[in-house]
Structure 1
Amino acid sequence: MSGMDMPDVTTKSTATSMLTTSTSTSTAALGANMSGMTMDGCKISMLWNWYTVGTCFLSSSWKIHSGGGFAGLCIGVILLVLLLQALGWAAKFYDKRLVRLHQVKAVALATQAAHNPSTETNGHLIAKSAHNSSPMASFRPNLWQQAIRALIRTMQFAVSYWIMLLAMYYNGYIIICIILGAFIGTYIFQWERMGGPHASVPDGHADQTGCCG
Structure 2
Amino acid sequence: MDGMPMSMPTGTVPSSATSTRQSTPSLMEPTSGAGMEGMSSMGSTAETNNDCKVSMLWNWETIDACFLSKSWQIKTRGAFAGLCIGIAFLVILLELLRRASKVYDRYLIRQHLKKTSALAATVVNGSSETAHGALIAKENAMTLASTIPFRPNIFQQAIRALLHTLHFALAYWIMLLAMYYNGYVIISIIIGAFVGFFTLQWESISPLGGIEGGNGIGRDGTGCHG
2:99 corresponds, among 80, 84, 89, to: 89
Could you tell me how far apart the structure 1 residues matched to 2:196 and 2:93 are? Answer: 8
Q: Aligned ranges for residues 73-112 of structure 1 at < 5 Å?
A: 73-112=83-122
CA RMSD of aligned residues (A): 2.8
SS of 1:95's partner is helix
**C-alpha deviations, 1:148-188, integer Å up to 9, x for none?**
11110111000000000000001000000001100011101
SS of 2:204's partner is coil
Q: Aligned ranges for residues 196-207 of structure 1 at < 5 Å?
A: 196=207, 199-200=212-213, 204-207=219-222
SS of 1:161's partner is helix
Query: Which stretches in structure 1 are left out of the alignment for 5+ residues?
Result: 1-37, 118-129
SS of 2:151's partner is coil
1:166 aligns with 2:181: no
Could you tell me how far apart the structure 2 residues matched to 1:136 and 1:191 are? Answer: 28
Runs of 4+ in structure 1 deviating by more than 6 angstroms, as ranges, are none
1:42 corresponds, among 52, 63, 74, to: 52
SS of 1:62's partner is strand
Structure 1 pair 207/39, CA: closer, same or farther in 2 (3 Å)?
A: farther
Query: Which stretches in structure 2 are left out of the alignment for 5+ residues?
Result: 1-47, 128-140
C-alpha displacement of 1:141: 0.6
Q: What is the number of residues matched between the two proteins?
A: 162
% same residue: 50
SS of 2:171's partner is helix
Select the structure of larger CA radius of gyration. 2
Q: Which has the higher contact order (CA 8 A, sep 6+)?
A: 2
Return the TM-score normalized by structure 2: 0.64
SS of 2:71's partner is strand
